[in-house]
Structure 1
Amino acid sequence: MSARTATAAATALKPLKLITRMMPQRHLPAGRIPVLPGIRLPAPVGPLKGSSPDATLGRIGSLEVRLARTVGEVKRAQELRYQVFYEEMSAIADAKTLLTRRDADAFDAICDHILVLDHDAMETKPFGKSRPKIVGTYRVLRQSVADRFDGFYTANEYDLAPLFARKPDLEFLELGRSCVLPPYRTKRTVELLWHGIWTYVLRHRIDVMIGCASLEGTDPRRLALPLSFLHHTAGASAEWAVRALPGRYVDMNRMGKESLDMRQALHALPPLVKGYLRLGAMIGDGAVVDHQFGTTDVCVIMPVAQLSQRHVNYYGADAGRHAA
């Protein structure tokens, strides 16, 4: 997940619309694949290196969800992200991003990229053959891969080390950089995107999904209601506790539980966050303000074994609902 969420909606069992910004391009912690002049990034891991080119994750009608197969498809996903995050939403682009018109960072090279393609909307590149349009994307990073490159991007905001120390035998998956083009922000598209994630989780035997989700705005006082609601009703247990980094920590306990208007608080939450809560997600301790993207972020922890059985049954314990 990430620290920039641009939501137009999502629920878990019955997702509606979705634009999510989860891992924005910001400063990288020490040891994180630096982007320096003359330095080539490592070859992408996952579908671009050793995975089956037929790694389809699911279908609904003309829509297919699958992993990116080429570097070119990753670039097309980055172009989609730029269109949503920088042109439609409020992200601030640096000179390189403006020049390339792609939302890209060093982590793209080690992530898997889940794509939703519309086979009824074909594009023809100059002097090339037609190809289905990429209408949605999600970026995922497995811990077994992240450990080879010094960890997750979420560690830029939250101290994950104590959680990993308590759960050394579990495989974590970080979610981020998710977005859907405006005409495709429908239940069908987002449901297929989530089906792709669930299929990926099963194929790679993921134990825990983790990342950041965002609330619009950078003034925690104005977000006192939703932040306090999350603190009082969805705070992670000691077993799964994650805390914002010192110096970035923003107290979420801004209103007493007895003074919360629960209905109003739910209404104030981004649809994506409500979807995660329906799945059974927990929220880490402390929020983080991201001034570059105009958001306040919270850390989401979703152990697969604790996911809502209702939602697991909906997509299928074997991800068979929309299997190709």
Structure 2
Amino acid sequence: MQTPLPPGVTRRMIPDVNGLQMHILEAGDPGDPLVLLLHGFPELAYSWRNQIAPLAAAGFHLVAPDQRGYGRTTGEDRSRLEQFRILNLARDAMGLVSALGHSEVACVVGHDFGSPVAAWAALARPDIFRACVLMSAPFPGAPAWPLRPAPAVPDWQAALARLGRKHYQWYYSTDAAAPDMDAPAQGMRAFLRAYYHGKSGDWAGNEPFALKGWTAEELAKLPDYYVMPLDKGMAEAVLPYAAGEAPWLTDAQLDVYARNFGRTGFGGGLLWYRAITSGRFQADFELFAGRRIEGPACFIAGDRDWGIHQNPGALEAMGQRAGADWRGTTLVPGAGHWVQQEKPDEVTRLLLDFLRGLPR
């Protein structure tokens, strides 16, 4: 069954994108400046459904791909973790730009896990990715220069376990995560409704505040969908968030996600987390030590989103040292983690304001 799309938005497959057959949603004239929209977890190109057509109508060529391991994009090798490291995901974005016949991107926009992909693409290749908008996941910047040995870190995971908790990113990196989420006891649709609702501005318990540091005691202040009960998988951890409605996500829209993840599972997206938590690819970033995003950049998130505080200090570091042309941070009132879906008109307006301020 084909997903219904807003008027003016089309879909197609782009072959041979860094080894992928990439599914994209698209609108606008291919001769117009390109704007690339990168989704996060557990989302799809469809998560940008409310922004694609209005931004295209303003004179841009809008493209939103299903990223590596997601949706209708195929060709990844899930046995090769290196394919899911952030700089290779940025290569996916660069390969898509080339395959589309563009020489540069007016702006790359990344939400959630798409945010660091957009940030590293803009930092590594400012000649291609001319500007970026980061959403819901702050980017603290490249390593400092000169390089210094990483400081010793206390065993915060053991300390969390003593508090009866575990960090979701490390759980997502285990072999248990995909089976738990691919076949949730409550069913895929109910699982995703609870997951999306719990992290949204509609969940009354989302009253975020800055954490003092990366310690077990501080991390344990995060909700269960970030720092989980030690004895539960994610499907069980989000059960308390099933009550209530998320008016920004209709039943038909929820069905799009449930149908897609019911078909593909979450394994591809979870490998993004495993690549990060493994530590195997951290040295990739040292090549850019001391560098900043050169082009215009800004950050957009919901003011009810715990995600902006889950990496203590990142929000502040982003504004201070991540970008050479920092255009500011905007927290959208009443929105949670899924800001472009929860407050689509406001996010579209903010994106248009940013895009109109760029050199043409």
* TM-score (norm. length: structure 1): 0.27
Identify which of structures 1 and 2 has the higher relative contact order when contacts are C-alpha pairs closer than 8 Å and 6+ apart. Answer: 1
* TM-score (norm. length: structure 2): 0.25
The structure that is helix-richer by fraction is 2
